[in-house]
Amino acid sequence: MNPLQTPIEYLKGIGPSRGELLRKELNIHRYGDLMNLFPNRYIDRTRYYKINELQGTTAEVQIIGKIIHMKTVEFGKNQKRLVATFTDETGQMDLTWFQGVKWIRESLKLNEVYVIFGKTSNYGSQYSMAHPEMELLAEHKASLRSAMQPVYPSTEKLTQRGITNRVVNKAMQQLFIETKAQFIETLPSNILDNLKLISKNEAMFNIHFPKSQELLAKAQFRLKFEELFFIQLQLITKNLIRKHKIKGHPFDKVGTNFTDFYNNHLPFELTNAQKRVIKEIRNDMGSNAQMNRLLQGDVGSGKTIVALMCMLLAKDNGFQSCLMAPTEILANQHFIGLTELAKDLNINIKILTGSSKTAERKIIHEQLENGTLDIIIGTHALLEDKVKFHNLGLAVIDEQHRFGVEQRSKLWKKNEIPPHILVMTATPIPRTLAMSLYGDLDISVIDELPPGRKPIQTVHRFDSNRLKVWKFLKDEIAKGRQVYIVYPLINESSTQDYKDLMDGYESISRDFPLPNYSISIVHGQMKPAEKEAEMQRFVAGKTNIMVATTVIEVGVNVPNASVMVIESAERFGLSQLHQLRGRVGRGADQSYCILMTGFKLSNDSKTRLETMCKTNDGFEIAEVDLKLRGPGDILGTQQSGILNLQIADLVKDRDILMVAREYAIKLLKEDASMEKPEYQKLREIFIEMSAKKNIWNYIS
């Protein structure tokens, strides 16, 4: 038996009660689980570093040098920090303190030799250390010091019950003695050589008992690469298998519908990004495999016209298409948009939603079955058993994260050969996340806006500026424009001072009185028909102001609306702010987004507001969001489980992820079934891994 499969209570120094605790608190059941509990930081008292030797690891270091300059810097409201310039003979770095500034400044001596100890952070080649431990060299020499110590993840309960870091450390040493620390090499020699990676044995030893900073950095790189490489191997294999096994309809003809529309009816010149994406999709649909592509494009980047051109290709090849949207509002908007685009073509387009009348449904069902209906747009209503297609060739799914897997699979089953799938989203997903989550989908990105669109100007205003903001709204309305004002909540919450929609509506009604102004209101507790009627009044220009909750986040298209005011903007997440802002800027006029907040803001809120004011680029915003919230929150709990990484971090290790993906693609192109002798071990691990979830049980 593999010693790493031994239950944890058999390890000397652990026993049944400690074993039970480790199981509950850290999910450590066997020797192998403990072996893969990686330290989250290190205390390095083994040596003294020169400033020019610092590396970007998570270790703490000590340096000998002098403070040559100190200054107090003001930031935020009445906040100060102390910044000292610390030098040795090789360079200089900053030391910073955010608390106890006055006392620390008085106690520090200029030009005296100190030993500093702490965690460094770097911006490019400039290093800094916050709140370092400081000791004069003479005092330091008189004290006792121990070597480089790993610090392991823990919980309050473990510490209370006496399982301290020291106990875990001792258990780890015992584990290495009992298992003789012999690990099977999991990576093929060509990858080890190309990337100059250290061996599995060396990496495992130096992650737990690093002999030096340099070896620690090498061990971390090796193990992070390995984890990400196996995940990418799994995702890409899944994609390849699907392409080989799941046959699709080959759309090999570019016929009159596509060419007539392209040559004579395009409302505007396609952007280069749109042309590139259409080409990628045409290549997919022209092969014998089923297309499974994710189309990402910011709000207003022109995904709909790309979808229509793909549907025209389907018609040219004798197939029907469907477009499924998560809400009736969005389905209606797609229907209006596509009907307008295709008005000069001989194409039958219909819409099917929960509100469709029985007589209409009957006609739609008949036309779908006899093949005279070319394109159907709808909501979940398309998934009903009654809806049968003559020959569905392409399914476009908008905002797919709002549909469950089972719902999507119902569409597949409407045909013997599954249709090509195009998933569209206006929620930009950071590249690193997209590669880890949708690695089994091919990804296309529309990363430029159609010409003539002016970037939306975004500003942050405090509540005390409200009168000026209202004056600005009145000026815009006088020019014939319309305005959205969005609130985070419907009813007042007793514990939080959220701006309440109803209060807001009343005060806006006072400030913008009839008959000069007229106001619509939309929120989640209204009946669909009421909501639709209010929306339509605004769309038709009968009202100047739309007061709403985030119901309008997705899919309302009013080109005449040029201002979006977001109340209590600090209460919204970045992606939500970005989606809301995308409701304006759809016409040729300059549009504005005004973020209203109180003065009390957390650091994260400040970062979110600054990011919104600085950029309109959804992908840049998504990257900041990922840094602030981490992958788990962005994906929601149901999906974050796939990314419970043990050592790699999707935000910090994106470069390693890129390398891992590149090597996985290269290996599978060269030997998709990993049959070569040098990939034998890789193949064994891969087969075991695919059967179960946790990678680390197999790659130790």
The C-alpha atoms of residue 91 and residue 83 are separated, in whole angstroms, by 16
The C-alpha atoms of residue 476 and residue 547 are separated, in whole angstroms, by 16
Mean pLDDT of the chain: 85
Could you tell me if 141 and 218 lie in one domain? no
Query: How many domains in the chain?
Result: 3
H or E, element range at 310: helix 303-316
Could you tell me if 228 and 304 lie in one domain? yes
Could you tell me if 303 and 421 lie in one domain? yes
Q: Which domain holds residue 700?
A: 183-319+391-453+635-700
Query: Which of these three, 615, 649, 669, is where a domain ends?
Result: 615
Could you tell me if 147 and 245 lie in one domain? no
The C-alpha atoms of residue 363 and residue 384 are separated, in whole angstroms, by 16
Residue 101 domain-assigned (yes or no): yes
Q: What is the mean pLDDT of the segment spanning 601-620?
A: 91
Could you tell me if 413 and 562 lie in one domain? no
| Model pLDDT, residue 190 | 93
Q: Are strands 113-123 and 126-130 parallel, antiparallel or unpaired?
A: antiparallel
Rounded to 10 deg, the angle between the 200-208 and 213-245 helix axes is 130
Q: What's the CATH code of the domain at 604?
A: 3.40.50.300
**Residue 620 and residue 575 in contact, taking contact as beta carbons nearer than 8 Å:** no
Nearest to 148 by CA among 93, 197, 214: 214
Q: 43-52, 380-389, 490-499 — which is least confidently predicted?
A: 490-499
| Model pLDDT, residue 644 | 66
Residue 253 domain-assigned (yes or no): yes
Work out the pLDDT band at 490, boundaries 50, 70, 90: low
Q: 111-125, 409-423, 585-599 — which is least confidently predicted?
A: 409-423
> What CA–CA distances, in Å, run from 590 to 73, 481, 558?
38, 10, 14
| Model pLDDT, residue 700 | 43
Tell whether the model's pLDDT for residue 633 goes beyond 70. no
The C-alpha atoms of residue 327 and residue 279 are separated, in whole angstroms, by 29
**Residue 487 and residue 623 in contact, taking contact as beta carbons nearer than 8 Å:** no
The C-alpha atoms of residue 143 and residue 148 are separated, in whole angstroms, by 16
Residue 248 domain-assigned (yes or no): yes
Work out the pLDDT band at 696, boundaries 50, 70, 90: low
Tell whether the model's pLDDT for residue 491 goes beyond 60. no
Tell whether the model's pLDDT for residue 294 goes beyond 60. yes
- DSSP E strands, 237-391: 292-297, 320-324, 349-352, 375-378
Residue of 631 and 235 predicted with greater confidence: 235
> What CA–CA distances, in Å, run from 398 to 401, 470, 529, 552, 672?
9, 36, 23, 16, 32
Q: What is the mean pLDDT of the segment spanning 25-49?
A: 88
Tell whether the model's pLDDT for residue 302 goes beyond 60. yes
Tell whether the model's pLDDT for residue 429 goes beyond 80. no
Could you tell me if 516 and 640 lie in one domain? no
Tell whether the model's pLDDT for residue 12 goes beyond 70. yes
Q: Which two tokens stand for residue 102?
A: 């006055």
Could you tell me if 268 and 417 lie in one domain? yes
Residue of 194 and 423 predicted with greater confidence: 194
| Model pLDDT, residue 640 | 39
Alpha carbon 568 to chain centroid distance?
A: 24
| Model pLDDT, residue 133 | 83
The C-alpha atoms of residue 424 and residue 369 are separated, in whole angstroms, by 26
Residue 352 domain-assigned (yes or no): no
Q: Backbone dihedral region of 641: left (phi > 0), alpha (psi from -120 to 50 degrees) or beta?
A: alpha
Could you tell me if 193 and 72 lie in one domain? no
Tell whether the model's pLDDT for residue 508 goes beyond 90. yes
**Residue 287 and residue 404 in contact, taking contact as beta carbons nearer than 8 Å:** no
The C-alpha atoms of residue 552 and residue 568 are separated, in whole angstroms, by 16
Q: What is the mean pLDDT of the segment spanning 353-370?
A: 92
Tell whether the model's pLDDT for residue 637 goes beyond 70. no
pLDDT per residue as tens digits for the range 676-692:
998 988 998 888 877 76
SS (H, E, C) 114-158: EEEEEEEEEECCEEEEECCEEEEHHHHHHCCCCCCEEECCCCHHH
pLDDT per residue as tens digits for the range 145-186:
546 778 899 988 888 888 888 789 889 989 988 887 778 899
| Model pLDDT, residue 634 | 47
Work out the pLDDT band at 481, boundaries 50, 70, 90: very high
- φ, ψ dihedrals at 565, nearest 5°: -105, 125
| Model pLDDT, residue 61 | 87
Please tell me whether residue 70 adopts helix, strand or coil conformation.
strand
Residue 362 domain-assigned (yes or no): no
pLDDT per residue as tens digits for the range 315-330:
999 999 999 998 887 8
Q: What's the CATH code of the domain at 120?
A: 2.40.50.140
Model pTM?
A: 0.64
Residue 397 domain-assigned (yes or no): yes
The C-alpha atoms of residue 2 and residue 27 are separated, in whole angstroms, by 19
Tell whether the model's pLDDT for residue 466 goes beyond 90. yes
For 554, residues 6+ apart whose C-beta sits below 8 A from its C-beta are 326, 327, 330, 399, 426, 579
Could you tell me if 116 and 96 lie in one domain? yes
| Model pLDDT, residue 65 | 96
Q: What is the DSSP string of 38-56?
A: --SEEEEEEEEE-GGG--S
CA 547, 550, 556, 557 torsion-angle sign:
positive
Could you tell me if 422 and 495 lie in one domain? no
| Model pLDDT, residue 635 | 47
Residue 229 domain-assigned (yes or no): yes
CA angle 560, 562, 565 (to 5 degrees): 135
- The maximal CA–CA distance of the chain, rounded, in angstroms, is 93
Residue 169 domain-assigned (yes or no): no
Cα Rg, the chain, nearest whole Å: 30
| Model pLDDT, residue 631 | 63
Could you tell me if 275 and 415 lie in one domain? yes
Query: Which of these three, 108, 132, 151, is where a domain ends?
Result: 151
Query: Which of these three, 567, 582, 615, is where a domain ends?
Result: 615
DSSP conformation class of 569: G
Could you tell me if 111 and 146 lie in one domain? yes
| Model pLDDT, residue 497 | 43
H or E, element range at 396: strand 392-398
pLDDT per residue as tens digits for the range 653-673:
878 988 999 999 999 989 988
